[in-house]
Structure 1
């Protein structure tokens, strides 16, 4: 992914010491929190590559948990996030991942919310300057940054599905900046990711949910403070 502007290289306002190892980790955690839709009751975090080698020294562990608690990159509570998570009833474990990984700064998260019954697996990479790419969600290959309002739509792989969705975006005057699709098998489960130029209205979300093949819709927008 190319950097969007010079501020992507300099990095965001943040609690240090590293834009890649802390600010990027916060954003990975926040992306997972928004996808899960709740505070996780349990989080298992696997670090790969440089993350695995230096996560304690660079504060990657406290940063990614701060993201799970929905903290921004410059939130002063980040250094205390492990204790704050424990006080909130969140059980967190860290381990070094095994096998291949897509980027030297890679984290794989396994989350569970007892309150909602929802679970999530997600893999994210910190690509520099605090920028991230989410590359896998619940076993599907995806690609998004969280910089733009992003919909992750789980649906059945049926003919005309993409046309039905894009027609709705057209009728609501919404422009799609980037789209990717992955499926587990022909006519099986699929996921479509759409990065958009503007926030999605509740009316459009309801219209998308009325498509019979749609199973679930999640949204990630790291520019929004608090829950999406």
Structure 2
């Protein structure tokens, strides 16, 4: 049985009405925004399960867009997300998929295009009480919550690369809370996800990049 704190029972400080359908949606989209290395020009949201059935009535559509615009769960600008997206030059689209069965009923895919053409696809789940998980980056299944400072390394799944990442973290005195490897297939594309309960120095990025099989780095500070 998972321990529940009083904050899990009460829920987050938020613009309502629902911690799962509103606050969780904001949080997953805000995390996806932080993963994108350039300003966002366009986003397509695909909503599944409960999100697909109640997205407008519970404000999930505004919440997701608000997160993409950089708003936090308690930001009153979420109510005006549609109008503000036009001001910020962010195009958006919603696709309702009531046929696909996902692992969690509160699931959304966010297909993001940056102003310089960078493309990123992120799947998030709102798991209750405003908490979320990111469970897919592009075509690879992953799992992290955004509750910790998070380093995401896209790499080839080859010997020595995880050891290289670990050594770089040690060189920078990073205390690792969790570290996991997620891969598409043996020898193919993979993501190493490192979570730390303290800020991860940005200088570590250049050090990790020295390995020629490291393809991309994302750093999300808590």
Q: Identify the TM-score tier after normalising by the shorter chain.
A: over 0.9
State the distance in 1 between where 2:129 and 2:191 align: 28
Who is 1:136 aligned against? 136
The residue number in structure 1 matching 2:191 is: 191
Distance (whole Å) between structure 2 residues aligned to residue 88 and residue 94 of structure 1: 18
Separation (CA, whole Å) in 1 of partners of 2:81 and 2:51: 18
Alignment gaps of 5+ in structure 1: 224-228
Stretches of structure 2 lacking an aligned partner (at least 5 in a row): none
Determine the structure 2 residue equivalent to 1:151. 151
Moved more, 189-198 or 137-146: 189-198
Q: What is the Cα deviation at residue 157 of structure 1?
A: 1.3
Q: How big is the shift at 1:200?
A: 1.2
**Deviations along 1:136-158, whole A, 9 cap, x unmatched?**
00111110111101111101111
Measured at CA, do residues 79 and 48 of structure 1 come closer, stay the same or move farther in structure 2, by a change above 3 Å?
Answer: same
Which residue matches 1:119?
119
Change (3 A) 1:144 1:19: same
- Partner residue, 1:70: 70
Q: State the TM-score, normalized to the length of structure 1.
A: 0.91
Deviation at 1:185, TM superposition (A): 2.6
TM-score, with structure 2 as normaliser: 0.94
Task: Give the RMSD, CA atoms, in angstroms.
Answer: 1.6
Which residue does 1:226 correspond to in 2? none
Shift of 1:86: 1.8
Partner of 2:22: 22
Tell me which stretches of 4 or more aligned residues in structure 1 moved more than 6 Å. none
Which secondary structure state, in structure 1, belongs to the residue aligned with residue 203 of structure 2?
helix
Q: Per-residue deviation at 1:83?
A: 1.2
| Partner residue, 2:103 | 102
Does the CA-based 8 Å contact 1:9-1:128 persist in structure 2?
Answer: no
Higher deviation after alignment, 87-96 or 117-126: 87-96
Contact 2:45 2:93 in 1 (8 A): yes
Distance in 1 of aligned mates of 2:3 and 2:112: 29
In 2, Cα distance between the equivalents of 1:180 and 1:87? Answer: 39
Helix, strand or coil for the counterpart of 2:146? coil
The answer as to whether partners of 1:39 and 1:68 remain within 8 angstroms in 2 is no
